[in-house]
Amino acid sequence: MPDPIADPFLTLSGVTKRYGGVRALEGVDFACSRGKIHAILGENGAGKSTLIKIMSGVVAPDEGVMRVERREVSFASPAEANGAGVVCIFQELSLLPDLSVADNICVSTPPRRFGLIDKGAQRRRAEELLAAIGCEDVNPRSRVRDLPLSRRQMVEIAKALGKNPKLLILDEATSALTSADVERVYDVLGRLRRQDVAILYISHRMHEIEALADVASVFRNGRHIETFAKGARSNAAIVQMMIGREISSQYPPKPERPRPAPMLEVRGLSWEGRLRDISLDVGAGEIVGLGGLDGQGQKELLLALFGVLRGVKGEIRVGGKAVSPRSPADAKAADVGIALVPEDRKTEGLMLPMTVAENLAAASLGRFASGPFIDRKAEDIAVGEAIRELQIKVGSPEDPVWTLSGGNQQKVVIAKWLMTKPRVILLNDPTRGIDVGTKQEIYRLLRRMADEGAAILFYSTDYDELIGCCDRVAILYDGAVVRELEGAAITETAIVASSLNIDAEAPAHV
């Protein structure tokens, strides 16, 4: 077949990047050219975000060469990448919340007069750029902090356009946008393509890629699998490339049995318009998945059950008894017995400089205490057991927890909660950024905890996990449960269709 990338703008050769023991990219050769919209496909953890971080100067590769217009480059900072015409719109916003929209859009090269920033010119420039993406409704004087998330994302796009990119990278840039804004972004991308800008587009919405892309590249496990022109590969072939393995093999078998009696019952749960009348049961010994697009209320549901949110309406029962936890301390109390493995293990799960043992014992100190004192012996024994049981790889329990690999850190977070002997275990995307081996251990562990009688509610952004791990899956859309899937009905097609809240039973629009 003809090479889809002729006369590339940017090329990578043999690029490798490791984080601790986990390799994020392995010997990647990649190229993209101007005047093309180039989609990057891959599962979570396939190396897409590391790829764009390298291109945009956020991280430096361990090995390999990057060239822009045939000249070798190594960007020390995002500013240098911008200077070479490479501009990235990041998923995590790079906006300054206390500054105005105009300040943000012109932040790196503001228009100046007599050496001072020319506020009027800056505002006019911001208005122009916002108008170009159809956002006349955003006032350039507004503080970014006061804008809703979708508007902030549009400001981020305007800011990137203001740098006159030759290569524009969009990382899930449309996931926070309203549908009207998505249309506007499509128009802008089309216009940029005509202006001979190279565009890299990362999205999990396959129909978007179908509609936009000229070229697509598939990544898997840190490797570049293949680049092909639009229409050169069937959807089935693309999915096979992305998955690249038998899905079933890495998950433990699900038990065949009638639905168990509910351990956790949720009735009519609502919060601040972000959770709307949610009712859900999780049986003792059952793993129930939470699915749907990112940001549809899954995290809020877990936080509400764990007592973190104030002003939650509705009823929560654990083991038949009504509970209303007002803090995590309430939620973990023995007569409630709820545990939460939080979203971000580095900021919410662990005290990184503290030791493995201290982190493991953090949630169950009450169990080892006699009066105000900690029974060190009992603590040591319990910590040792947890390390053995979850096969956490540590030199010594007295090592700081930040010395462990990501996967082992996550095991510490999970083990911390298992030590409280919870009846209900809530997990917020527990396998994000973790190597495949540890993932499998976590899946087996979840099943074992369920078999021992725990009720498990499990949010994942990875559809495979929901399919492979869960007895049932509840799909959330805009803060409400729109569908519950059970047994054989849990398929990628069903999940994707429900996530978009459409009824299409047709194969997922890949």
Partner 1 sequence: MTALRLALRADDRPILIAGASIVLILLAGTAYTMATQGTATLLSPNYLLQQLQVGAFLGIVSAGMMVVILLGHIDLSVSWTLTAAAMMATAVGGPWAIPVGVGVGLAAGLANGLGVGYLRVPSMIFTLGMDAVLRGLMVAHTGGFAPQTAATDLMRALGAERTAGVPNALFVWAAVSVLIVLVLKRTVLGRAIYAIGNREQAAYLSGMPTRRVILAAFMISGACAGLAGVLLAGYSTKAYQGMGVPYVLPAIAAVVIGGANILGGSGRYAGTVVGVVLIVLLNSVLSIMQMPEAGRQIIYGAVIIAMLLAYRGGKLAHT
Partner 2 sequence: MSDQVLPADAAPAAPRSGRRRGGDWLLVLRQNGSLLFAIALFALLYLGYHLAHPRGFTTQVLVQNANEAFTLAMVAMAQTIPVLLGGLDLSVGAVMTMVNCIASHLVIGSPGQIALGILACLASGALAGFVNGCVVVYGRIPPIIATLATAAIAIGVALLLRPTPGGKLDEDLNWAMTNSVADFAETFGLADGGKAPWLAPVAWLPVPVVLLVLVVVLVWLPFRRTVTGRTIYAIGSSESAAYMSGLPLNRAKIAAFTLAGFFAGVGGLFLAIQTSSGNADLPQAGAYTLNSIASVVIGGTSLVGGSGGPVGSIFGTLVLRVISFGFRVFDIPPLLQPLFEGLVLLAAVSLGAARALRVRNTLDLFR
Phi, psi of 427 (to 5 degrees): -130, 130
Strand partners, 271: 275
> Reduced to 3 states, what is the DSSP secondary structure of residue 156?
helix
How many Cβ atoms are within 10 Å of 444's Cβ, its own excluded? 14
- Residue from 71, 253, 320, 373 binding partner 1 (CB under 8 A): 373
Position 358 contacts partner 1 (CB under 8 A): yes
Structure tokens at 10: 């940017």
Query: Of 307, 343, 340, nearest to 461 (Cα)?
Result: 343
Say which entry of partner 1, partner 2, none residue 395 contacts (CB below 5 to 8 A, set by partner kind): none
How far is residue 225's CA from residue 3's CA, in Å, rounded to a whole number? 15
How far is residue 32's CA from residue 11's CA, in Å, rounded to a whole number? 7
In the complex, the smallest distance separating the C-beta of residue 311 from partner 2, rounded to whole angstroms, is 6
> Which residue number, 44 or 104, has a Cβ lying nearer to partner 2?
104
Position 433 contacts partner 1 (CB under 8 A): no
Structure tokens at 249: 């093999």
Q: Which stretch binds partner 1 (CB under 8 A): 19-27, 210-218, 342-350, 381-389?
A: 342-350
Q: Which stretch binds partner 1 (CB under 8 A): 121-129, 166-174, 239-247, 325-333?
A: 325-333
In the complex, the smallest distance separating the C-beta of residue 319 from partner 1, rounded to whole angstroms, is 18
CB 105 within 8 A of CB 95: no
**Cβ within 8 Å of residue 322, ≥6 positions away:** 315, 316
Which residues in 460-489 contact partner 1 (CB under 8 A)? none
Say which entry of partner 2, partner 1, none residue 362 contacts (CB below 5 to 8 A, set by partner kind): partner 1
In the complex, the smallest distance separating the C-beta of residue 467 from partner 2, rounded to whole angstroms, is 25
CB 460 within 8 A of CB 242: no
> Reduced to 3 states, what is the DSSP secondary structure of residue 101?
helix
> Which residue number, 236 or 381, has a Cβ lying nearer to partner 1?
381
Q: Which stretch binds partner 1 (CB under 8 A): 127-135, 139-147, 352-360, 460-468?
A: 352-360
> Which residue number, 16 or 142, has a Cβ lying nearer to partner 2?
142
Query: Of 369, 372, 262, nearest to 320 (Cα)?
Result: 262
In the complex, the smallest distance separating the C-beta of residue 204 from partner 2, rounded to whole angstroms, is 16
How far does Cα 30 stand from its chain's mean position?
24
Position 353 contacts partner 2 (CB under 8 A): no
Q: Which stretch binds partner 2 (CB under 8 A): 178-186, 262-270, 467-475, 485-493?
A: 178-186
- Residue from 9, 30, 201, 271 binding partner 2 (CB under 8 A): 271
How many residues form the binding site for partner 2 (CB under 8 A)? 49
Phi, psi of 318 (to 5 degrees): -120, 125
Position 351 contacts partner 1 (CB under 8 A): yes
In the complex, the smallest distance separating the C-beta of residue 329 from partner 1, rounded to whole angstroms, is 5
Residue type, 158: A
How far is residue 75's CA from residue 60's CA, in Å, rounded to a whole number? 7
CB 484 within 8 A of CB 494: no
Say which entry of partner 2, partner 1, none residue 125 contacts (CB below 5 to 8 A, set by partner kind): none
Position 361 contacts partner 1 (CB under 8 A): yes
How far is residue 314's CA from residue 296's CA, in Å, rounded to a whole number? 18
How many residues form the binding site for partner 1 (CB under 8 A)? 33
> Which residue number, 15 or 154, has a Cβ lying nearer to partner 2?
154
For residue 12, CA distances in Å to 26, 68, 166, 201, 480 come to: 12, 9, 16, 17, 44
CB 22 within 8 A of CB 435: yes
- Residue from 322, 334, 354, 504 binding partner 1 (CB under 8 A): 354
- Residue from 2, 273, 311, 372 binding partner 1 (CB under 8 A): 372
Strand partners, 119: none
Per CB under 8 A, residues contacting partner 1 are: 306, 308, 327-329, 331-332, 340, 342, 346-354, 358, 361-363, 365-366, 369, 372-374, 376, 400, 402, 416, 420
Contact residues: partner 2, CB under 8 A: 58, 77-80, 82, 90, 93-99, 103, 107-108, 110, 115-117, 119, 134, 136-137, 139, 141-143, 148-151, 178-180, 271-274, 300, 303, 308-311, 327, 348, 478
